[in-house]
Chains A and B, each alone.
Chain A
Amino acid sequence: MFLIYCPYCGEEREESEFHAKGQAHLARPADPDNSSDEEWGHYLFFRENPRGIHHELWVHAAGCRKFFNVTRHTVSYEILETYPIGEQPRVTANQMEKPA
């Protein structure tokens, strides 16, 4: 059971209030009709499955109904940040690899 900080409600809430919606920052190709089969197939079916830092989309289903992003470590399950849609993560895998 995670404890997730909702960036809109401004406090930590129990996981049971949320729905997980998969990988974050999935962009729908801007011109679907002119995208290649490969490009469209990639958008539809290919997802990251990292061991480590992962950016995920969640929705505060039983709370404010807002979608937001979560940066979570898939081994420790630690949630490193949550941030609104449209913003970029501050914690990334590249950044974690760099020496402190």
Chain B
Amino acid sequence: MTQPNRLAQGGRVNRDRPLSFVFNGETYQGYEGDTLASALLANAVSVVNRSFKYARPRGIVAAGAEEPNAVVQLGASEAAQTPNVRATQQALYDGLVASSTNGWPNVQRDVMGLFGKVAGKMMPPGFYNKTFMAPASMWMTYEKLIRKAAGLGRSPREQDPDRYEHFHRHCDVLVIGAGPAGLVAASVAANSGARVILCDEQEQMGGCLLSTTETLNGKPANQWLSETLDHLAANPDVLLLPRTTANGYHDHNFVTLHERVAEHLGDTAPEGMARSRMHQVRAKRVVLSTGSHERPLVYANNDVPGNFVSGAISSYIHRYGVVPGNQLVVMTANDQGYRCAIDWYDAGRNVVAIVDARPDADGHWVKQAEERGLRILKGQVVFDTKGTKAVQGAWVSAWNAERFALTGEAQLLECDAIASSGGFSPVVHLAAHTGARPVWRDDIQGFVPAAVKGQLPTGGCNGVYPLHQVLADALDTGITAALDCGYEASRFILPEVDDLVESAPLALFEIPHTKATMRAPYQFVDLQNDVTAAAIELATREGFESIEHVKRYTAMGFGTDQGKLGNINGMAITARRLGQTIPETGTTVFRPNYTPVPFGAIAGPHRRELFDPKRYTALHSWHEQRGATFEDVGLWKRPWYYPIGNESMHDAVSRECLAVRNKVGILDASTLGKIDIQGKDAREFLGRVYTNKWEKLGIGKARYGLMCKDDGMVTDDGVTTCLGDQHFLMTTTTGGAAAILEWLELWHQTEWPELEVYFNSVTDHWATITITGPNSRALLREITDIDLDRDKFKFMEWRQGTVAGVPARVYRISFTGELSYEINVQADFAMHVWQTLFEYENKYGLTPYGTETMHVLRAEKGFIIVGQDTDGSVTPEDLGMQWCIGYDKPFSWIGKRALSRPDTSRRDRKQLVGLKPLKDDVVLEEGAQIVLDPNQPIPMRMVGHVTSSYFSPTLNHGFALALLMDGHNRMGEIVFMPMPDGQVHEAEVVGTVFYDSKGDRQNV
């Protein structure tokens, strides 16, 4: 197979390794070292996509990350589908399969094109805003249509087989971009002893040195490049990351780098290798040597395939041995265009003309072109392109820059490629990610990074373009970086480079047409989003003066390329229309990511079983073996219920509830938060953070405590045990453990540092096994040396002893209302204790139960769950827990003062009540809204909601807890819960305790 645009020699491709690839169903050949873009151009594939709004054929324009058109869908298999890949950045590999993301059924014969011609008219500037104002219901329809038309690609429908890695990196100096500036800065910093990371987004490091004809030390650039890279690679404190794009620049020099580890090797990564890797780098100094992007010029039909930015052509020739055409017209406003023409000519193809908007250029490259006898049209411009699917010619005319108008006769130059150069834009994207607005410099007609702490732009990114100046600038930057990091800067000898005289560039962005902008053929500014100069003019005519509004109105820069090529031109066009300068017009904000990043790389190893930590108790494997279903409580996995055979959840929970009420149940309560509190002021501290009193709690006793924030709202509860006069063990809710420890520390460290007390988490240390039910005493007696006599070991007391041969603390406290013992042992021994208890399973009817049964049993007793029956807006008084409030404690404890605020002491606040549905089989929905009159018109006045609701197998009816406005005064009233299906449930307002209201059972 022939590659018509491939030169017989030259470039950095390996002609001994031909690679086969498929684009839009056709098979082609390229070489190792190609990008997909260079291989497509070598094969003279000119149309690679259809445009977003107008469905116009589009070709490759650039050679790097700025490419707006050649955005393809990659992947031979379904699982390997990757959208949004820039062909200019995708290395070619054997078997690569890619397709256009736009154009149906294909880019050559485009049905959407017909639609596009209509839809384009349907999508004038402001289309989004105007169209989607109303009706809102049409959005879904439009959105589908636009997505299909917009070429956003698609995600795979199968699991990605690849692995992605995350690396945390730290360095003194991170250098982004390994062109001449980056190489010098990195070398200086590394030689000085700094830890350096040098990354570059391309397949090979070197940046513009890879495609320059300039010499360093009198030798081809390649030699200095490889020597410099070898020297860096030999330094153990230097990390070289090729194929690595710095995508996000975050606060305090935190930069995310995306390394394409295996994306150049195949559809999926080879065995044992990650497909890509995200480096999260924290650097003391960041050197931005990101270079510059060449700006294309805006002229009519500048989107016809065959239009390029001029530097891209040099890159394709020098790096890949590819000349994308035979007859070239160059349109330039600076000397760069001449270099492109010289490269083209030297490659053996014909340069039709260099069209230079300037009247009098005479720099080094101009002379080089003249020496080659190239035709140069000075003071002229290319203002239109002939052709639709491919360039057939360039319309050229003399012009008057001051009047911004064409003068004289237009002539058609026949050609198959047009290269344009409007100058350079420093790649300031990363510098703007943390919010700093780039600063305009008139002398270079471009934006450079604003000063940001720790950030050092250099070379092209800093608006410095001639090579010898770039090297000197980078040397300074490298020295600064080394000194800033505390190193003595080492000497570094710069390579000798000729100081080539360049003629002054002209500030040129758009080119006038014979017709006025609004009537001229499309003059594209943003190729990816089909934004034209006319659209921007229309936006300004419609009154948009802020560049941010113009952007949103026209969608300029909103593509996946973030307007890398078009934004400055768009700003310049806006500025001209508004009669102001570019800095007056302002700049725009760039946000991460610089180029699209696959979700796999963002997720890294944080997926599937490692997505989030799962916390397990010491008894988890037993629960699994017993067939428990699990409930997530915070990060914990807690047994929910233990079904036997095909038992339903309802049946299992009923069985577990009845076992506790009638025999004995066992619960793994290890997840409760536990805080060890020691110090002479421990008791005083408890009195300040809990609502109730602690000064008289004796050693061996336990007490329930309620905790508020200073706004008077309940935030936690739990039992605290007095272990010694100055030693307590506090338990917290499972979800609140870490937050409550931090809460105690907050008050101790910031408000009452004079109190002598220490708090330490012992949550994971103790395993807690609750046995509860009438048989619990007899069961425990089998395996403990603790005297369980009811008068010697009373309710709300604790004892120390051994259980099943394990030293233990046993607390006689109850969350079910039954006789209960909580056995606490060091977690390592919990399984032994638990299994020993199960040796008596049949003798006492021991039944394991989970969180669902725990909830039913506690709710039957009216015991609240903080966070379920409370929501941060509930006071202890709202809960009817005045018995737990020490109004007369000497210290004004946390939450006390707020209870007397007018809003907190209102009598019609929502208060906790019980609800008994009038029909026994009704179980109210948790969250159901309560109304007093079900026949009132909608919207009804809602007076509360159900917080907890269950079916009680013990009572044989449904019951609920609810927060109800003025609820404590509504005992006996009937309230209503209208449901979405039209049913209205009725319930009687009752007290919160449904079972054993005197509390006899826990005291037996």
Seen from chain A, the residues whose Cβ lies within 8 Å of a Cβ on chain B are 1-3, 14, 19, 21, 28, 31-33, 35, 37, 40-41, 43-45, 57, 59, 61, 65-67, 75-79, 85-86
Ordered by A's residue number, 20 sampled pairs between the chains whose C-beta atoms are within 8 Å are A1-B254, A28-B751, A32-B897, A33-B896, A37-B901, A40-B897, A43-B710, A44-B710, A44-B711, A45-B711, A59-B745, A65-B745, A67-B749, A67-B750, A76-B453, A77-B435, A78-B453, A85-B749, A85-B750, A85-B753
Nearest-CB distance from B751 to chain A (Å)?
Answer: 6
Binary contact track B897-927/A, C-beta < 8 Å → 1, others 0? 1100110000000000000000000000000
B749-A66 in contact (CB<8A): yes
Q: Which of B251, B252, B897 contacts A35 (CB 8 A)?
A: B897
Residue of B nearest to A33 (CB): B892
Tell me whether B282 is interfacial, beta carbon within 8 Å: yes
How far does the alpha carbon of A42 sit from the alpha carbon of B616 in the complex, in Å?
43
Q: Which of B252, B751, B898 contacts A44 (CB 8 A)?
A: B898
Tell me whether B253 is interfacial, beta carbon within 8 Å: yes
Residues of B within 8 A of A21 (CB): 746
Residue of B nearest to A25 (CB): B750
Residue of A nearest to B709 (CB): A44
Tell me whether B143 is interfacial, beta carbon within 8 Å: no
How far does the alpha carbon of A19 sit from the alpha carbon of B743 in the complex, in Å?
12
Nearest-CB distance from B713 to chain A (Å)?
Answer: 10
4 extra interchain contacts, Cβ-Cβ under 8 A, other than A1-B254, A32-B896? A2-B251, A3-B253, A14-B282, A65-B745
Binary contact track B704-717/A, C-beta < 8 Å → 1, others 0? 00000011000000
Residues of B within 8 A of A32 (CB): 892, 896-897
In the A-B complex, list the 9 residue pairs whose CB atoms are closest, starting with the nearest.
A32-B897, A32-B892, A3-B252, A1-B254, A67-B749, A77-B251, A33-B892, A44-B711, A85-B750
How far does the alpha carbon of A43 sit from the alpha carbon of B710 in the complex, in Å?
9
Tell me whether B160 is interfacial, beta carbon within 8 Å: no
Nearest-CB distance from B661 to chain A (Å)?
Answer: 42
How far does the alpha carbon of A32 sit from the alpha carbon of B899 in the complex, in Å?
11
Residue of B nearest to A21 (CB): B746
Q: Which of B453, B750, B751, B897 contacts A33 (CB 8 A)?
A: B897
How far does the alpha carbon of A67 sit from the alpha carbon of B902 in the complex, in Å?
33
How far does the alpha carbon of A40 sit from the alpha carbon of B899 in the complex, in Å?
11
How far does the alpha carbon of A41 sit from the alpha carbon of B742 in the complex, in Å?
24
Residues of A within 8 A of B453 (CB): 76, 78
B282-A3 in contact (CB<8A): yes
Residues of B within 8 A of A43 (CB): 710
Residues of A within 8 A of B751 (CB): 28
Binary contact track B249-266/A, C-beta < 8 Å → 1, others 0? 011111000000000000
Residue of A nearest to B282 (CB): A3
How far does the alpha carbon of A11 sit from the alpha carbon of B254 in the complex, in Å?
16
Residues of B within 8 A of A76 (CB): 435, 453
| Contacts of B357-379 to chain A: CB distance below 8 A | none
A1-B749 in contact (CB<8A): no
Nearest-CB distance from B660 to chain A (Å)?
Answer: 38
Residues of B within 8 A of A40 (CB): 897-898, 901
Tell me whether B434 is interfacial, beta carbon within 8 Å: yes
Nearest-CB distance from A53 to chain B (Å)?
Answer: 16
Contacts A14-B282, A85-B750: A19 and B254 contacting too (C-beta < 8 A)?
Answer: no
Residues of B within 8 A of A28 (CB): 710, 751
We find that the number of chain B residues with CB closer than 8 angstroms to chain A is 24
B435-A37 in contact (CB<8A): no
How far does the alpha carbon of A32 sit from the alpha carbon of B751 in the complex, in Å?
14
Residue of A nearest to B254 (CB): A1
Binary contact track B39-76/A, C-beta < 8 Å → 1, others 0? 00000000000000000000000000000000000000
Residue of A nearest to B897 (CB): A32
Residues of A within 8 A of B253 (CB): 3
A37-B902 in contact (CB<8A): yes
Nearest-CB distance from B552 to chain A (Å)?
Answer: 23
Nearest-CB distance from B593 to chain A (Å)?
Answer: 15
How far does the alpha carbon of A87 sit from the alpha carbon of B435 in the complex, in Å?
31
Residues of A within 8 A of B742 (CB): 19, 59, 61, 65
Residue of A nearest to B745 (CB): A65
A86-B252 in contact (CB<8A): no
| Contacts of B245-296 to chain A: CB distance below 8 A | 250-254, 282
Nearest-CB distance from A68 to chain B (Å)?
Answer: 9
Nearest-CB distance from A62 to chain B (Å)?
Answer: 11
B251-A1 in contact (CB<8A): yes
Nearest-CB distance from B507 to chain A (Å)?
Answer: 32
How far does the alpha carbon of A68 sit from the alpha carbon of B927 in the complex, in Å?
40
Residues of A within 8 A of B434 (CB): 77
Residues of B within 8 A of A31 (CB): 892
How far does the alpha carbon of A85 sit from the alpha carbon of B949 in the complex, in Å?
46
Residues of B within 8 A of A2 (CB): 251-252
A86-B753 in contact (CB<8A): yes
How far does the alpha carbon of A41 sit from the alpha carbon of B558 in the complex, in Å?
46
How far does the alpha carbon of A43 sit from the alpha carbon of B901 in the complex, in Å?
13
Residue of B nearest to A67 (CB): B749
Nearest-CB distance from A91 to chain B (Å)?
Answer: 14
| Contacts of B491-523 to chain A: CB distance below 8 A | none
How far does the alpha carbon of A21 sit from the alpha carbon of B750 in the complex, in Å?
12
Nearest-CB distance from B859 to chain A (Å)?
Answer: 31
Residues of B within 8 A of A19 (CB): 742
Nearest-CB distance from A3 to chain B (Å)?
Answer: 4
Residue of B nearest to A35 (CB): B897
Residue of B nearest to A59 (CB): B742
How far does the alpha carbon of A44 sit from the alpha carbon of B253 in the complex, in Å?
36
Contacts A3-B282, A76-B435: A59 and B746 contacting too (C-beta < 8 A)?
Answer: yes
A67-B745 in contact (CB<8A): yes
Residue of B nearest to A43 (CB): B710
A41-B901 in contact (CB<8A): yes
Nearest-CB distance from A57 to chain B (Å)?
Answer: 7
How far does the alpha carbon of A70 sit from the alpha carbon of B783 in the complex, in Å?
55
How far does the alpha carbon of A61 sit from the alpha carbon of B741 in the complex, in Å?
10
Residue of A nearest to B891 (CB): A32
How far does the alpha carbon of A4 sit from the alpha carbon of B746 in the complex, in Å?
19
Nearest-CB distance from B319 to chain A (Å)?
Answer: 36
How far does the alpha carbon of A77 sit from the alpha carbon of B253 in the complex, in Å?
12
Residues of B within 8 A of A78 (CB): 453
How far does the alpha carbon of A31 sit from the alpha carbon of B711 in the complex, in Å?
15
How far does the alpha carbon of A89 sit from the alpha carbon of B750 in the complex, in Å?
15
Q: Which of B254, B753, B898, B902 contacts A3 (CB 8 A)?
A: B254
Nearest-CB distance from A76 to chain B (Å)?
Answer: 7
Nearest-CB distance from B238 to chain A (Å)?
Answer: 22
Residue of A nearest to B253 (CB): A3
| Contacts of B746-788 to chain A: CB distance below 8 A | 746, 749-751, 753
How far does the alpha carbon of A90 sit from the alpha carbon of B581 in the complex, in Å?
42
How far does the alpha carbon of A77 sit from the alpha carbon of B454 in the complex, in Å?
13
How far does the alpha carbon of A75 sit from the alpha carbon of B250 in the complex, in Å?
14
B250-A1 in contact (CB<8A): yes
Residues of B within 8 A of A41 (CB): 901
How far does the alpha carbon of A3 sit from the alpha carbon of B710 in the complex, in Å?
31
How far does the alpha carbon of A36 sit from the alpha carbon of B232 in the complex, in Å?
69
How far does the alpha carbon of A75 sit from the alpha carbon of B435 in the complex, in Å?
9
How far does the alpha carbon of A61 sit from the alpha carbon of B252 in the complex, in Å?
20
Nearest-CB distance from B220 to chain A (Å)?
Answer: 42
Residue of A nearest to B453 (CB): A78
B252-A67 in contact (CB<8A): no
How far does the alpha carbon of A21 sit from the alpha carbon of B892 in the complex, in Å?
23
